[in-house]
Amino acid sequence: MSTPNAQPKTTSAFIAQAAIAFGVSFFGAGVGVFYLPLDAWQRGFLGMSLLFLVTSAFTLAKVIRDRHESEHLHSRIDQARMEKLMAEHDPFKTI
């Protein structure tokens, strides 16, 4: 008995909502850093920290996704091997 490949599909509305949320939050943080009563070097430090935070968040998301996909692939390979062994097994065959 094989299970159907039920990959969850991401809707375009969810992608749009995530992109809009990212844009609004990044823009808001950038405006907040720009309008803080700080010196230019302090503002630059906060801006660089904001950019580093965004890039590291993307990297973390990619690492988590890649790990999940590799675990899913390994489990599918193991399941296919087990199904092949079970299909080839003959309990009445003498050794």
* 29-80 pLDDT tens trace: 999 999 999 999 999 999 999 999 999 999 999 998 888 877 776 777 777 8
Residue bearing the bigger pLDDT, 86 or 23: 23
Residue bearing the bigger pLDDT, 10 or 56: 56
Tell whether 61 is covered by a domain.
yes
- According to the model, what pLDDT value does residue 57 have? 92
Q: How many CB atoms lie within 10 A of CB 88?
A: 7
Instruction: Name the band, by pLDDT with cuts 50, 70 and 90, for residue 1.
Output: very low
Tell whether 1 is covered by a domain.
no
Tell whether 4 is covered by a domain.
no
Tell whether 94 is covered by a domain.
no
- If one counts the domains in the chain, the total is 1
Tell whether 69 is covered by a domain.
yes
Tell whether 68 is covered by a domain.
yes
Q: Tokens 């003959």 map to which residue?
A: 90
For residues 10-22, one letter each, b for 16 or more C-beta atoms within 10 angstroms of the residue's C-beta and e for the rest, the string is eeeeeeeeeeeee
Helix (H) or strand (E) holding 87: helix 40-88
Tell whether 93 is covered by a domain.
no
Tell whether 6 is covered by a domain.
no
- Asked whether 26 and 54 are in contact (CB, 8 A), the reply is yes
Expressed as residue numbers, the domain containing 82 is 12-88
